[in-house]
Homo-oligomer: A and B are copies of this chain.
Amino acid sequence: MSKVLVFGHQNPDTDAIGAAISYAALQRELGMDAEAVALGEPNEETKYALDYFHLQAPRVIEKVTDETQDVMLVDHNEFQQSVSDIAEATILSVVDHHRIANFETASPLYYRAEPVGCTSTIILKLYKEKDIAVVPEIAGIMLSAIISDTLLFKSPTCTPEDEAACHELAKIANVDLKTYGLDLLKAGTNLENKSIEELLDLDAKSFTMGDKTVRIAQVNTVDIEEVLTRQFDLETAMEKLNLENSYDLFLLVITNILDSNSELLAIGDPVDKVEEAFDVSLDKNRAFLKGVVSRKKQVVPPLQNVF
């Protein structure tokens, strides 16, 4: 049997890496020659989780077809968020919790998407359906992914299934959920030693909306004002990235994980669509988005609707 590479999206977050690790481990239990890889280095939060549970960061790849034909995608499906040569690979399976778009296969495949808060919640179901036990370190990275994606259950994307899965995994991994969860999230808000460019690339995704390409980056913090001390530099860099990558619009969502509000910074065109989508007026390119913490549920859909 040929080797199978399992990976999450570009600019990996804890779910992209955690789901790749846990799904590859499940596939190995099922007899596949599966390896978890990643489309980028782990961020500070993910590093904290990997270290805590004594797991290695997955090998970073950019393309797959020079080493294998067969891949499995986790935590994404849109081709522009995947490896550069995804269209030439054979996608055996997808496990995801996002909308489906810009995705196509030549043959039937296994596709499992559920509208839950985290891919790892679905992967726990798959372990159970196959009657395979989750070992403690894998449980650890899975629960870290759920904490990360749901902001410790505060995100509107969080479902009762995510919460139940997280509690179950915390028992297996033997951690106190609240203590570990806050430590993990805080590890991810350490933005001090990040350059402007790193900050804008930390958790950024591109979306096709109407005939526009919209780049949406998000950073978590415990102090929005601290991030905004660098507003001028951020704007300059966003303009530069728009030009270099032909983005029409660059949005930066700065989220306070403690009070669950965000500040939006918008550079490019059309900003009137941004104002319409969130029913706000941009002031100095900024707007306060009360109660907004989820790009997937609270940022992308209203934008998609007005575009």
Which A residues contact B (CB, under 8 angstroms)?
A: 97-115, 129, 296, 301, 304-305
Identical chains in the assembly: 2
Query: CB distance B106 to A99 under 8 Å?
Result: yes
Least Cβ distance of A270 to chain B in Å? 19
Q: A99-B104, A106-B304 are in contact. List 6 more A-B contacts (CB 8 A).
A: A97-B108, A107-B301, A110-B115, A111-B111, A111-B112, A129-B129
Query: CB distance B107 to A115 under 8 Å?
Result: yes
Q: How far is the CA of A106 from the CA of B99 in the complex (A)?
A: 6
Query: CB distance B115 to A113 under 8 Å?
Result: no
Least Cβ distance of A122 to chain B in Å? 10
Q: How far is the CA of A101 from the CA of B101 in the complex (A)?
A: 9
Contact pick for A108, options B104, B107, B115, B304, CB 8 Å: B115
Inside 8 A of A108's CB, which chain B residues have their CB? 97-99, 113-115, 296
Interchain Cβ contacts under 8 Å between A and B, 27 examples? A97-B108, A99-B104, A99-B106, A99-B107, A99-B109, A100-B100, A100-B103, A100-B104, A100-B105, A100-B111, A101-B104, A101-B105, A102-B104, A103-B103, A106-B301, A106-B305, A107-B301, A108-B113, A108-B114, A108-B296, A109-B113, A109-B115, A110-B113, A110-B115, A111-B111, A112-B112, A112-B113
Inside 8 A of A111's CB, which chain B residues have their CB? 100, 111-113
